[in-house]
Amino acid sequence: MKVLVIGGGGREHAMVEAISRSKRVSKIYCMPGNAGIAELAECIPSIGVMDFDKQIAFAKENDIDLVVCSQDDPLCAGLVDAHEAAGLRVFGTRKNAAIIEGSKSFSKNLMKKYGIPTAAYEVFTDAQKAISYLETNAKFPIVLKADGLALGKGVLICNNLQEAIDGVKEIMTDKKFGSAGNEMVIEEFMTGREVSVLAFVDGKNIKLMSSSQDHKRIGDKDTGLNTGGMGTFSPSPFYTEEIDRMGWERIYQKTVDAMASEKRPFKGVLYFGLMMTSEGPKVVEYNTRFGDPETQVVLPRLKTDIIDVFDAVIDGTLDKLNLEFEDQAAVCVVLASAGYPVKYEKGKKITGLENFKNKEGYYCFHAGSKFDEEGNVVTNGGRVLGITAKGATLKEAREKAYEATNWVDFEGKYMRHDIGKAIDEA
């Protein structure tokens, strides 16, 4: 069968790699794709993730059997609905359910209504009211969140009243995150370790993938600005059987049932961002898609044919599927452009990519790369490559991933040096 993947980052590279292992797939297309994905799929750089009409026309012309999308903005804008209306078969979340990521006030109100544990919060549509609330009620630190999609950057943790007032102005008055800041959530600051749990959901049934953990800050020891994610490890040794039991009891099934009760049945990948607090796991955020770079440490270990999984999600038969992962660990270290996440240059030549050829258990996922006019692979984003390695233990996987970061180079190559270090404490 022929599969069309929409997107062009490290997550999509990992998805395409998993799809390329399916015995059922004869051809993969990717829109727009990138220079790494181009080794496994035919990329169509001229068609973007939001060009629904062009995607649909291409899919019809090329007899595509399955369209796959796992990116927040097109899903929240109705990619799945548009493709389905055109008669295509699609793996992804429909617009009315993607709102679980697209609006923080929606997801917070959902959790409150159905008793799903999360940080206490208030929603505001008026900057002055938000400031008055902070002046009278707030305990610091406190967390401000723009309501809408903001590339993972619309969250401010404020240590005192002045920072919080400045934050409200940034989000609601200066619109630093655009229309995402028309509404905002102010919530209680939680402490604890974070774990990401990705799940396949078919509207009613849930199959959890292996747990993982991201490192969101740009600097070692979790310092500096928030980014899209600087590295991941999986499984998380902090995701214990006890946490898993509490997650099932309090969070996973309750969330999926809540969405069904709201007439917004959730199909696709549901990402639970959890914080292990002293009162048990609480939801920090939901995403309506595979995490990036969590996917780069989860899918390389997927043993089940991913097309069988996509089919079970679409057809509502996940309960009959046996979802299996390898018993190994994996670590992904992101190589970013100097200056990310603020200002960085693009177009730097990437060398050494050939070192990953035929290296079992090592992956070089491209997050931001393209071909220049001479056919060289050059940097094309803040996050450039995700270097993943598998190992018998997390420690071994980490050592191998860091060793492999030396195999490639580009001007301004930046990485954190402590990805997965926390696992030493486990």
Note whether 140 binds ligand AMP by CB under 6 A.
no
- Rule CB under 6 A: choose which of 291, 341, 368, 382 binds ligand GLY: 291
Contact pick of 147, 187, 292, 311 for ligand GLY (by CB under 6 A): 292
In eight-state DSSP terms, residue 409 is B
Task: Please give the size of the binding site for ligand GLY, defined by CB under 6 A.
Answer: 7
The residue assigned the tokens 């310092």 is 223
Q: 180, 150 in Cβ contact below 8 A? A: yes
Q: Measure the CA–CA gap between 292 and 70, rounded to whole angstroms.
A: 10
Hey, how many other C-beta atoms are within 10 angstroms of the C-beta on 278?
Answer: 7
Counting beta carbons within 10 angstroms of the beta carbon of residue 360, is it exposed (0 to 12), middle (13 to 18) or buried (19 or more)? Answer: exposed
Q: Assess 147 for contact with ligand GLY (CB under 6 A).
A: no
First to last CA, the chain: 43
Which one among 33, 273, 291, 386 touches ligand AMP, defined by CB under 6 A? 273
- Which is closer to ligand GLY, CB of 296 or CB of 369? 296
Segment contacting ligand GLY by CB under 6 A, of 16-24, 80-88, 287-295, 339-347: 287-295
Interface with ligand GLY, residue 229, by CB under 6 A: yes
Q: Pick the stretch among 70-78, 88-96, 186-194, 328-336 that binds ligand AMP (CB under 6 A).
A: 186-194
| By the rule CB under 6 A, 255 interacts with ligand GLY | no
For ligand AMP, the binding residue among 51, 72, 183, 285 (CB under 6 A) is: 285
Site string for ligand GLY, 203-222 (x = CB under 6 A): -----------x--------
Partner from ligand GLY, ligand AMP, none binding residue 92, C-beta < 5-8 Å depending on class: none
Reference 367, options 319, 340, 334, 402; nearest CA is: 334
- Asked if residue 382 lies in contact with residue 414, where contact means CB atoms within 8 angstroms, the answer is no
Residue ranges of alpha helices (H) inside 21-92 are 52-61, 72-76, 79-85
Binder to ligand GLY among 227, 287, 288, 328 (CB under 6 A)? 287
Between 30 and 367, name the residue whose CB sits nearer to ligand GLY. Answer: 367
**At 284, is the secondary structure helix, strand, or coil?**
strand
Q: Which residue is nearest to ligand AMP (CB)?
A: 285
Contacts of 137 (CB under 8 A, 6+ apart): none
8 A C-beta contact, residue 333 and residue 415: yes
- Chosen residue from 194, 257, 308, 396 binding ligand AMP by CB under 6 A: 194
Element (H, E) at 59: helix 52-61
CB neighbour class for 21 (10 Å; exposed up to 12, middle 13-18, buried from 19): middle
Cα–Cα distance for residue pair 404/402, rounded to 1 Å:
5
The partner in contact with residue 143, picked from ligand AMP, ligand GLY, none with C-beta cut-offs of 5 to 8 angstroms by kind, is ligand AMP
In the complex, the residues that contact ligand AMP under the rule CB under 6 A are: 119, 143, 145, 152, 155, 187-190, 194, 216, 273, 284-285
In the complex, the residues that contact ligand GLY under the rule CB under 6 A are: 152, 214, 229, 287, 291-292, 294
